[in-house]
Amino acid sequence: MKKTLLILALLINTVWSKYLTPTLKIDVNESIKDMVLVGSTLVMGTDGGKLKAYNLNEKKFTKIVQLPKIKDFMGDSIDTSVSSVDYLDGKYLMLSDSGIGGYSDLRINENNKTINIFTEKDKLALVEAKFIDKDNILVAFLSDEAALYNLTNKKFIYREQLNGSKFSNFALNKDKTLAAFASESGEVIVIKPKSGKIIKRLTGINLDNIFKVDIKKDIVATAGKDRRAGWYNLTTGKKDFIQAKFFIYAVSLSPDASMAAFAMDENNNITIVKLSTKSKLFLLKGQNSTLNNIIFKDKSTVFAASDDTFVSMWKLK
């Protein structure tokens, strides 16, 4: 009897309730390196040196910013890779490779004018940058340092070393009062972005590099190289994970944090998991290369971008 119950439990976690294909595919014409959703607009950074904004209601690109070319090691002019983007109150934030010494360029485009925040002369190896408010930008260094830069005073408010490992990714909660930082160590560090104060150190799930992290409500979700799709509850201290058979490259939590979307197989599919039961609700098919960004717009709409040129949208129904 116990053996029968165990088999049934395994089947619940391995049989899909629904396979879904995209209801919309947006051709960006360039590989997408980062993507955020602001209202009804997808803002994307590409390997063609562009920021592109696509309005979902108007079904067209409403903003394209082309960054200057950089020099490669042979001295040839090439497009830079826009690795991190954001938008707030008419300002587009763009982080890209300077092409010199591994250092980064950080720019803001406002009213169709682009200004430099950092260039290679500042010698900063930045990996990610997001607005906290109109005056402050949270940035992450390759060395796993978190820093808050004030645009008005043009200086860092703080710069804190979080971990000795290489930085991977950070995510902000909805009101930007918490940020979850992930690294190659497998540890997730939750901080207050305004002060840099460490709130939680989360361990025990991932034993290797965390590719992506997300934070919604009191849940932090992780996507790991160790094939673990994990989640922590900041309130209760509980943690859990699902073991996959392939590297998990991306993750996103639903707005109410009841579900998570994980890129957890070699076929570039997305698994929608109900966290309370670990049941696999949907399998989202149709993306053709390695997934790097997943976004829940709401509880029933999911967007994803990958190393190809398409953004896909699925409706969970």
Positive or negative, the Cα torsion across 243, 244, 249, 251?
Answer: negative
Of the candidates 131, 110, 129, 134, the residue with the CA atom closest to the CA atom of residue 118: 129
pLDDT the model gives residue 17: 56
Query: Which of 24, 22, 44, 21 has the alpha carbon at shortest distance from 33?
Result: 44
Order of strands, sheet of 32-38, starting from the edge strand that comes earlier in the sequence: 32-38, 41-46, 50-55, 60-66
User: CA–CA distance from 27 to each of 39, 63, 157, 246 (Å)?
Assistant: 20, 15, 40, 27
- Residue 285's nearest CA partner among 299, 306, 300, 271 is 271
| CATH number for region 1-28+162-317 | 2.130.10.10
- Beta-carbon contacts of 193 under 8 Å, excluding residues fewer than 6 positions away, are 132, 136, 138, 146, 148, 172, 176, 177, 178, 179
Residue-level pLDDT at 7: 44
Are residues 107 and 115 in contact, defined by beta-carbon separation less than 8 angstroms?
yes
Tokens representing 261 are 């979307």
Helix (H, G, I), strand (E, B) or coil at 23: coil
What fold characterizes domain 31-156? Answer: Methylamine Dehydrogenase; Chain H (2.130.10)
User: In this structure, what token pair is assigned to residue 163?
Assistant: 């971990």
- The per-residue pLDDT for 199 is 97
Per-residue pLDDT of the chain (317 residues; tens, 9 = 90+): 544 444 444 444 444 458 999 999 999 999 999 999 999 999 999 999 999 999 999 999 999 999 999 987 778 899 999 999 999 999 999 999 999 999 999 999 999 999 999 999 999 999 999 999 999 999 999 999 999 999 999 999 999 999 999 999 999 999 999 999 999 999 999 999 999 999 999 999 999 999 999 999 999 999 999 999 999 999 999 999 999 999 999 999 999 999 999 999 999 999 999 999 999 999 999 998 999 999 999 999 999 999 899 999 999 98
Instruction: Say which amino acid occupies 78.
Output: I
Q: Is the pTM of this model over 0.85?
A: yes
CATH 2.130.10.10 domain extents, the chain: 1-28+162-317, 31-156
